Amino acid sequence: MLNLVDTPDASVSLPNKPRRGRPKKQPSSSLETREALLRAGMLTLTETGFTGSGIDPILKSIGVPKGSFYHYFSSKEAFGLAVLERYGRYFEAKLDGFLLDEAFSPLERLQRFVQDAQDGIVRHEFKRGCLVGNLEQESTQLSEEFREQLQATYQSWQMRVGACLLESQKQGEVDFQGSIEETSQAFWIGWEGAVHRARLVKSIQPLSLFIRFFIRAIQLKTH
């Protein structure tokens, strides 16, 4: 599992004299500013998608002037593509954290990923979905480059689920009627639909139903 939060060393003694509070740090370098823009973009696009998102609210949320935006990105589309690429890498790391965790069986890893997603969507009050799924719904309004990058992102995610399912098959957990490639594709098709339905009804029931149905469909029958 990825450790995304650094914790202080408990053996270090803190000074008795309290330090004065520091003002909130703004991006101070080109790299920090670009990364801040991408993070803000990910948050916005997971809620409102691409076509419905404006650049001004994103810039305002991190205190970056509009003139500076075009120093980093030539257009809104170039920004959206960079956000998609950044989100894809973030999600790949998230998937690896769950699906490569040998402390659990392969099917348990997949179920733990789903449980984490359920917790996250509840934590954000069903306002945030999957950025890739949001963009997929807008695909008819996006450029060919956008659509190609979306497909490449899904392919990367499908390969990871496929590898987990292959290991599950080797351990005798599952019994495939079709190919692993088709099964992993079916997982993501169903998953994205479940995420959209969960946001619609403001309930994790669609996500829970989907994973139960998926596991039952592939699990090895022992009777």
Most distant CA pair in the chain: distance in Å? 69
The answer, yes or no, to whether residue 184 has pLDDT greater than 60, is yes
| Residues 97-123: tens digit of each pLDDT | 999 999 999 999 999 999 999 999 999
Res. 13 pLDDT band, cuts 50 70 90: very low
Residue 194 in contact with residue 186, Cβ under 8 Å?
no
Three-state secondary structure call for residue 2: coil
Instruction: Give this prediction's pTM.
Output: 0.79
How many residues are present in the chain?
223
Which neighbouring-strand residues pair with 72? none
Phi, psi at 212, each rounded to 5°? -65, -45
The answer, yes or no, to whether residue 65 has pLDDT greater than 70, is yes
- The residue to which tokens 């499908």 are assigned: 158
Q: Choose the CATH number for 81-218 among 1.10.238.10, 1.10.8.60, 1.10.357.10, 1.10.10.10.
A: 1.10.357.10
Q: Which of the 8 DSSP states describes residue 3?
A: -
Residue 169 in contact with residue 105, Cβ under 8 Å?
no
Residue type, 109: R
CA distance 203 to 99: 25
Structure tokens at 206: 């669609």
The answer, yes or no, to whether residue 11 has pLDDT greater than 70, is no
CA proximity to 164, closest of 217, 214, 95, 88: 95
Three-state secondary structure call for residue 26: coil
Which neighbouring-strand residues pair with 174? 219
Half-sphere exposure of 216 (CA within 13 A, CB side): 6
Residue 218 in contact with residue 140, Cβ under 8 Å?
no
Question: What is the mean predicted confidence (pLDDT) over 198-221?
Answer: 92
User: Of the segments 6-20, 59-73, 94-108, which one has the largest average pLDDT value?
Assistant: 94-108
Res. 1 pLDDT band, cuts 50 70 90: very low
| Residues 137-176: tens digit of each pLDDT | 999 999 999 999 999 999 999 999 999 999 999 999 988 7
Across the chain, mean pLDDT equals 84
Q: Which residues, 6+ apart, have CB-to-CB distance to 202 below 8 Å?
A: 125, 126
CA distance 134 to 154: 13
Question: What is the mean predicted confidence (pLDDT) over 3-14?
Answer: 32
Q: According to the model, what pLDDT value does residue 20 have? A: 47
CA distance 63 to 57: 10
